[in-house]
């Protein structure tokens, strides 16, 4: 993944981020997310009614991280493409997958 930042002109900062490092980092955080889910208070997990049921369903940090990891792995299958490009005047920020 390449993260490019430009403030106009020819000066451009490009930060390469190896995708396997990002993949391993997200996978490593899954154990911490599971621990957080076990230790989280009722307030962080969502409000419960008198019967102990959640109205909107319980969404755990681990499940959100798992979905993000699956989405990231799915995007890697498509190969090279520009994920995000934002321009504001002369400033430009882009994220590209290679």
Interval 6-52: pLDDT, tens:
887 777 888 888 878 878 888 888 888 888 877 775 555 555 555 55
Looking at every residue in the chain, the average pLDDT score rounds to: 78
Domain coordinates in residue numbering, the chain: 2-43+59-97
Cα within 13 Å of Cα(58), Cβ side = 16
pLDDT recorded at residue 63: 83
pTM exceeds 0.85 for this model? no
Span 76-97, average pLDDT = 87
How many whole angstroms from its chain centre is CA 17? 14
């Amino acid at each position: 993944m390449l993260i490019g930042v430009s403030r106009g002109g020819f000066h451009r900062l490009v930060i390469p981020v190896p995708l396997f490092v990002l993949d391993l980092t997200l996978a490593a955080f899954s154990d911490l997310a599971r621990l957080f889910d076990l230790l989280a208070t009722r307030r962080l997990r969502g409000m419960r009614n008198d019967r102990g049921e959640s109205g909107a369903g319980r969404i755990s940090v681990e499940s959100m991280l798992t979905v993000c990891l699956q989405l990231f792995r799915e995007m890697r299958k498509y190969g090279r493409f520009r994920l995000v490009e934002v321009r504001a005047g002369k400033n430009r920020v882009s994220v590209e997958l290679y």
